[in-house]
Amino acid sequence: MPFPRKIKVIVFPSFIWPALALLALPLLAFVALASPLSGPVALYYGSPLKGTTVALDPGHGGIDSGAHFESTMLEKEIVLEIGLELRRLLEQAGARVMITREIDEELSYHFPDGSMARHRRDIRGRARLINASQAHLLISLHINTIYDSSVRGPIAFYVPEKSESKTLAMAIHKNINPLFSADAKAGQLVHQHPQESSAYFILNETDMPGILLEIGFLTNPDDRLLLGKKSFRKKIARAIFLGIVDYIYGDTEPEEPAP
Ligand SMILES: [Zn+2]
pLDDT of residue 20: 61
CATH of 41-248, one of 3.40.630.40, 3.40.640.10, 3.40.720.10, 3.20.20.150: 3.40.630.40
Cβ contacts of 98 within 8 Å, gap of 6 or more: 53, 54, 55, 56, 129, 130, 133, 135
Cβ contacts of 38 within 8 Å, gap of 6 or more: 32
Pairing of strands 155-158, 210-217: antiparallel
pTM: 0.81
pLDDT in tens, 177-232: 999 988 788 777 787 899 999 999 999 999 999 999 999 999 999 999 999 999 99
- Range 15-23 average pLDDT: 65
State in Å: Cα 80 to ligand 1 middle. 11
Report how far residue 127's alpha carbon sits from residue 157's, in angstroms, rounded to the nearest whole number.
Answer: 16
Handedness of CA 71, 102, 194, 118 (dihedral sign): positive
State in Å: Cα 34 to ligand 1 middle. 33
Report how far residue 74's alpha carbon sits from residue 148's, in angstroms, rounded to the nearest whole number.
Answer: 19
* Confidence band of 251 (pLDDT split at 50, 70, 90): confident
Least reliable range by pLDDT among 13-22, 155-164, 216-225, 241-250: 13-22
State in Å: Cα 69 to ligand 1 middle. 13
For the chain, the average pLDDT equals 86
State in Å: Cα 60 to ligand 1 middle. 6
Q: Higher model confidence: residue 163 or residue 1?
A: 163
State in Å: Cα 20 to ligand 1 middle. 54
